[in-house]
A and B are shown apart, each in its own frame.
Chain A
Amino acid sequence: MRKVAFFSIFILLTVSCVPKVDNPSPGATEAVIFPDYKEVTITENIAPLNFSFKDDKTRGVAVFENSGERLVLRSRKGEFHIPKSKWNNLKAAGPVIKVTLASYEGGKLMPHIPFSIFVSKESIDSFVAYRLIDPGYETWNKLGLYQRCLENFTETPFMTNEVTDRNCMNCHSFNNRDPGTMMFHMRAANGGTYVWKEGKIEKLNTKTSRTISALVYPYWHPSGKYISFSVNDIAQFFHSSNPNRIEVYDYKSDVVVYSIDNHQISSTPLLMDTARMETFPSFSPDGKTLYYCSSPQTEMPQGYRDVRYSICSIPFFPETFSFGDKVDTIYNAAKTGLDATFPRVSPDGRFLLFAETAYGCFSIWHKDSELRMIDLKNGRYLTLDKINGPDADSYHSWSSNSRWIIWASRRQDGLYSRLYISHVDENGQTSKPFLLPQRDLKHDRLLMKSYNVPEFISGPVTFNQDQMADVAKKEPGINVSF
């Protein structure tokens, strides 16, 4: 008798745990969820897309279906947390996951219009590296370089300023997404450029008598033998009544290339033109072309609104560590009347992705900044309307297979950058982006740091930060020559 009673209670509980969700009626509404994962394209190796009703008082049920795989989840405080194994099964079952949400209204479960999550077979690099920093003004406190496994929710710091006297560190850059070949700068205490390659750390003193500054914005040559840099005299000011809040600008800048083996810098008058400001260099995937941004020299800060960067390119000859003598203009700011920064060519060489804004060099502080692309096969300009949001969309990087991009966007609250990922097909068509999924759905709302300079990497960074701190504090550093 007791067994029957227990079994009856068990059945009752089970039924009540998995309420039936009917098909939506003709008058059904769209559910409002955060993050907005409706109709996004994801990759098979991405972590579960946990989400919640936008209104955290809403309670309900989510039904996930894909080619016979079915998962029913009840919300907890309005949130849906998808178990990883079930998520993996759902993704593996087929190309489209149908999600039907239903919310309780007056005690009755009301289904919303279902939405789809599209699953691409094209995988994504398993990690992304970024800096977590207050989107601040002049000072800094706790900051560091972090890596996040995209296949789960694990985030680990690989270099924080807690071990380096709370200094500033920036401009982390990897060679071809290789976590074993990277560099970054430390500023203020323990200042220098740190190169991690083949298991060794080198500290560099990079200011020379012939350059404007120490080395600044980096990009690795695919051979791993060179790193291109800008050298910049950077300043900033604060607007009195402008949604952009801050203006970061250069008084002057040049582009140089650093040779890792012989600790030498080289450049050409074409990249150090006193009548122009050259910055944000990046190499083509074959290493034969150096892209960079270039603007006529402008009186600063009063002329800050007149600064327009074009994207240019110049041949680079890695065998002889030398440059060509002809500059091509890929994006002509004089013609568009706009401004282009951070050129990044896809690893397959097909597309050049960049940030476009009205003026200036620091697009992350410009609310109008949007990502654009040029098809290098035919020069076609792509506006990428699907991926740009209402606020700044800026620093961006490509996955190894050229099918995914990740970038920092301020669309969530207008200030704190968050990471968005979008699929790019072979014709340059992008999919609706998805916010980097988090285990804790309050994470993005409560975190008072910006995700800065996201770079895909193929695995975790392997150096030890204490070892790095030792080098920073104890070694004088190698003087770079020009």
Chain B
Amino acid sequence: MIKHCFNCLFVFCLSLISACKYESQSSADYDETIASYFNDDQTVDCLKLSLLNLALAETGQLADKAFYYTQAGLDGLLLPWNYTAEAGEILSDIYWSMGHVAYAQRMAFEANMLDNRDFNPAMLKRLIETNLVFGAYPVAEKYIGILSENRAWKKVADSYKRFLFNDAAVESNPVLGPKKRCIPKLDFISIVRGVDEDLKDIIRTNPDYHNAIEYLGVIYLLDCEMDKFKMMLDEFYGTKALPELPKSFAEAACMLSEIHRGYWKSVGVSAEMYKKYINFKARLEKGLAPDKYKDTFWYYIMRINNQ
């Protein structure tokens, strides 16, 4: 009996720790993820890398600092969906960060279903959030009821009750509001056209939500899709969505100037940055190791080309 009580207490404490951790997921947690990331030039774990990139996105640094770390193509940004609860959970976080609410919801549902517990509290929380954002209040209410049955998560669950059937409360919330404004006015078939096309629709819908364009640009850069990247700059540079270029985008703009003469100037890249690019090229041409450029998109391209 004592053992049973102890076990129950242990499970409850674990759940409580998990609830507290998730409830207080903040920029400090993402900073810790970034600080504790071990960058290995040789072996890249796409799961860890996607979490790092997520942390960079959530702290507004993805397009500036993605190439500070050894990137591994798209799989390190958008973890491949391998039909496991773990991948589903991470993908839900990533799509949520992108502002792709429908797919964040889809992945949360898959992850929750694939979890062998009665439910996955973090994913149930995401289902509450996404349904609140979509205004699907009755099912959000159901999930709140289920989550609040878990004593450790009750406080978290109850904190969402004030949003039920209250669009204004959702819209004014600093987390839910921006996501709600990301929902495209015109429905489209998610992902089928490619995640980039979905992101463009999200950016057009909510140009103030910068995670979407940071993910979009980094997707193109990781995939070496320079033409599409240029089209993105042509459409969004100088607008609310992209008033100025983050570091990796500026580096890519320098490269685009090889084909489109003077392009770097047209998108506000500094002369200093362009000069750095010229120096990088010069070192390459001389056969010198450009190690001091390891944190650039140019180095990533060089590494990809050498593979």
- The reply on B136 being an interface residue by CB < 8 A is yes
Distance of A413 Cα from B164 Cα, bound (Å): 13
- The reply on B183 being an interface residue by CB < 8 A is yes
- The reply on A317 being an interface residue by CB < 8 A is no
Distance of A97 Cα from B191 Cα, bound (Å): 54
**Quick check: B139 and A136 within 8 Å, CB to CB?**
no
Report, nearest first, the 7 A-B pairs whose CB atoms are least far apart.
A413-B138, A238-B190, A242-B187, A413-B139, A415-B139, A134-B113, A237-B189
What are 12 A-B contacts with C-beta separation under 8 Å? A136-B109, A137-B110, A240-B100, A240-B184, A241-B101, A243-B136, A415-B142, A416-B142, A445-B142, A445-B146, A446-B146, A448-B112
- The reply on B106 being an interface residue by CB < 8 A is yes
Given contacts A138-B83, A139-B114, A445-B142, 4 further A-B contacts (CB under 8 A): A237-B189, A239-B187, A240-B102, A240-B201
Looking at the complex, which one of A136, A245, A446 makes contact with B113 (CB distance below 8 Å)? Answer: A136
**Quick check: B187 and A238 within 8 Å, CB to CB?**
no
Q: From B110, which residue of chain A is reached at the shortest CB distance?
A: A139
Q: Return the CB mask of A400-423 against B: 1 if under 8 Å, else 0.
A: 000000000000111110000000
- The reply on A301 being an interface residue by CB < 8 A is yes
- The reply on A141 being an interface residue by CB < 8 A is yes
- The reply on B149 being an interface residue by CB < 8 A is yes
Q: Which of A242, A445, A448 neighbours the largest number of chain B CB atoms within 10 Å of its CB?
A: A448
Looking at the complex, which one of A140, A414, A445 makes contact with B136 (CB distance below 8 Å)? Answer: A414
- The reply on B64 being an interface residue by CB < 8 A is no
**Quick check: B145 and A139 within 8 Å, CB to CB?**
no
**From residue A409, how far is it (CB to closest CB) to chain B in Å?**
13
**From residue A301, how far is it (CB to closest CB) to chain B in Å?**
6
Neighbouring A residues of B186 by C-beta, 8 Å: 241
- The reply on B188 being an interface residue by CB < 8 A is yes
**Quick check: B110 and A239 within 8 Å, CB to CB?**
no
Q: Residues of A within 8 Å of B, CB-based: how many?
A: 25
Q: Return the CB mask of B259-275 against A: 1 if under 8 Å, else 0.
A: 00000000000000000
Q: Which of B114-151 contact A (CB under 8 A)?
A: 114-116, 119, 134, 136, 138-139, 141-142, 145-146, 149
Q: Return the CB mask of A279-303 against B: 1 if under 8 Å, else 0.
A: 0000000000000000000000100
**Quick check: A141 and B187 within 8 Å, CB to CB?**
no
Distance of A237 Cα from B103 Cα, bound (Å): 11
Q: Which residues does B use to contact A, with CB under 8 Å?
A: 83, 100-103, 106, 109-110, 112-116, 119, 134, 136, 138-139, 141-142, 145-146, 149, 183-192, 198, 201
Q: From A246, which residue of chain B is reached at the shortest CB distance?
A: B106
**From residue A42, how far is it (CB to closest CB) to chain B in Å?**
25
**Quick check: A416 and B139 within 8 Å, CB to CB?**
yes
Q: From A137, which residue of chain B is reached at the shortest CB distance?
A: B106
**From residue A276, how far is it (CB to closest CB) to chain B in Å?**
24
Known contacts A446-B146, A446-B149, A448-B146; A237/B113 CB under 8 A: no
Q: Which residues does A use to contact B, with CB under 8 Å?
A: 134, 136-141, 237-243, 245, 247, 301, 412-416, 445-446, 448
Neighbouring A residues of B83 by C-beta, 8 Å: 138-139
**Quick check: A136 and B136 within 8 Å, CB to CB?**
no
**Quick check: A241 and B192 within 8 Å, CB to CB?**
no
**Quick check: A241 and B187 within 8 Å, CB to CB?**
yes
Neighbouring A residues of B187 by C-beta, 8 Å: 239-242
Distance of A393 Cα from B187 Cα, bound (Å): 23
Neighbouring A residues of B198 by C-beta, 8 Å: 240
Distance of A240 Cα from B106 Cα, bound (Å): 10
Neighbouring A residues of B103 by C-beta, 8 Å: 238
**From residue B194, how far is it (CB to closest CB) to chain A in Å?**
13
Distance of A238 Cα from B130 Cα, bound (Å): 14
**Quick check: B102 and A238 within 8 Å, CB to CB?**
yes
**Quick check: B184 and A241 within 8 Å, CB to CB?**
yes
Looking at the complex, which one of A138, A245, A247, A415 makes contact with B110 (CB distance below 8 Å)? Answer: A138
Distance of A445 Cα from B142 Cα, bound (Å): 6
Q: From B190, which residue of chain A is reached at the shortest CB distance?
A: A238
Distance of A416 Cα from B141 Cα, bound (Å): 12
**From residue A56, how far is it (CB to closest CB) to chain B in Å?**
10
Q: Which of B145, B183, B190 neighbours the largest number of chain A CB atoms within 10 Å of its CB?
A: B190
**Quick check: B185 and A141 within 8 Å, CB to CB?**
no
**Quick check: B138 and A237 within 8 Å, CB to CB?**
no
Distance of A120 Cα from B75 Cα, bound (Å): 62
Looking at the complex, which one of A139, A239, A245, A415 makes contact with B189 (CB distance below 8 Å)? Answer: A239
Distance of A415 Cα from B101 Cα, bound (Å): 17
Neighbouring A residues of B149 by C-beta, 8 Å: 446
**From residue B113, how far is it (CB to closest CB) to chain A in Å?**
5
Distance of A17 Cα from B247 Cα, bound (Å): 75
Looking at the complex, which one of B101, B109, B119, B184 makes contact with A137 (CB distance below 8 Å)? Answer: B109
**Quick check: B106 and A414 within 8 Å, CB to CB?**
no
**From residue A325, how far is it (CB to closest CB) to chain B in Å?**
39
Distance of A243 Cα from B102 Cα, bound (Å): 10
**From residue A305, how far is it (CB to closest CB) to chain B in Å?**
10
**From residue A451, how far is it (CB to closest CB) to chain B in Å?**
15
**From residue B103, how far is it (CB to closest CB) to chain A in Å?**
7
**From residue B110, how far is it (CB to closest CB) to chain A in Å?**
5
Distance of A245 Cα from B134 Cα, bound (Å): 10
Q: Which of A240, A416, A446 neighbours the largest number of chain B CB atoms within 10 Å of its CB?
A: A240
**From residue A182, how far is it (CB to closest CB) to chain B in Å?**
26
Q: Which of B142, B149, B184 neighbours the largest number of chain A CB atoms within 10 Å of its CB?
A: B142
Q: From B107, which residue of chain A is reached at the shortest CB distance?
A: A137
Distance of A241 Cα from B149 Cα, bound (Å): 30
Looking at the complex, which one of B116, B145, B185 makes contact with A241 (CB distance below 8 Å)? Answer: B185
Looking at the complex, which one of B113, B138, B141, B191 makes contact with A141 (CB distance below 8 Å)? Answer: B113
Distance of A239 Cα from B106 Cα, bound (Å): 10
Distance of A175 Cα from B113 Cα, bound (Å): 32
**Quick check: A240 and B190 within 8 Å, CB to CB?**
yes
Q: From B188, which residue of chain A is reached at the shortest CB distance?
A: A240
Q: Which of B109, B188, B198 neighbours the largest number of chain A CB atoms within 10 Å of its CB?
A: B109
